[in-house]
Amino acid sequence: NYLIEKLNHRIKRIDAVQTKMIYYLTQDNDRDITKKLFEDFLDAWYALTFKEVRYGCQTPKFEHVVSKEKFAENTSIAMLLLTSSRDDSILLPACLKTIAELQNEIVNYFQNTIETTTKTKQQCVPLQSIRPEHIFSLDRNDLNRKLINDSLVLNYQYGKSKDIIYDYEEMEITLRNMISKLVLIDTDKLNFLTYQFELYGENTSLINEVRARIKQQQQLTNDDRTKLNSLINTMNHDDILHYLGSLDNIFTYIRTIAVEKLTEDMTIQLFV
């Protein structure tokens, strides 16, 4: 989410592919914030033990090609951006969807097989809105601590030895309480990053956001439509691409400009 907010409509695809992550950790103005978030991501990324992940009908292989220490200098920023592209950058959204769907399987099994008496509608949270309390988290240290503190006793009578007897009922109660608080994760609606000058692609979220901010909208007159259509038909492709890029910049500015500046009397000349 941080990289989408920072780079959405602000970075070209070619720049994202060519720029290594190390640049944003050492030279970017927001490097302190980026470094902290990147360290957390790196710990989680190298803790994954998947062999492959799934995104729709695609199942890309998951492997750590470079060491953790050399990841930043060998990985382009494009690999860490959530986009709708189906190239190598699909690995990150595929991992997120795979992990989320694993939790959904646990929640659905619990609701449909174990806790069948509860009829309440299960809460569903968008993937990019999840918080730590929404995630099923039980690492090795937590599990060992729970077993030692609450789920075992020492049997000094049987065989006159210190046999460990696990309290399976306590384990079940603990897992029930944990899973009952989990939510389903919506993996269908992802907020993707759109590269700069690709406003005319599949993602029209920028246009929709601009429309939502401008309350009074007027259609072009028939004469203006005719003139615009004639102009487009006579322009070469390079000029059209250039103007689309300019339109991308204008819409990005309107998307982030303060609402009070979007006055009714603002003309194109005044805006420029």
pLDDT tens per residue, range 99-134: 999 999 998 888 888 776 666 677 889 888 888 888
Confidence (pTM): 0.68
pLDDT for residue 257: 67
- Taking the alpha carbons of 99, 104, 107, 112 in that order, is the dihedral positive or negative? negative
Structure tokens of 74?
């060998």
pLDDT tens per residue, range 229-257: 888 888 887 777 677 667 766 776 776 66
Enumerate the β-bridge partners of residue 154.
164
The better pLDDT of the pair 93, 154 is held by: 93
Confidence of residue 88 (pLDDT cuts 50, 70, 90): confident
Q: Taking 90 as the threshold, does the pLDDT of residue 68 lie above it? A: yes
Q: Residues near 193 by Cβ (< 8 Å), separated by ≥ 6?
A: 3, 4, 7, 8, 81, 82, 83
Domain boundaries, the chain: 2-98, 205-271
Enumerate the β-bridge partners of residue 152.
166
Instruction: Tell me the pLDDT of the chain averaged across its residues.
Output: 80
The amino acid occupying position 60 is: P
SS3 205: helix
What letter would DSSP give residue 120?
P
| Alpha helices, H only, 121-236 | 140-150, 168-180, 205-213, 222-234
Q: What share of the chain is helix, strand, coil (3-state, %, to 5)?
A: 55, 5, 35
What letter would DSSP give residue 117?
T
pLDDT tens per residue, range 182-222: 889 998 888 888 787 676 555 556 667 777 766 666 777 88
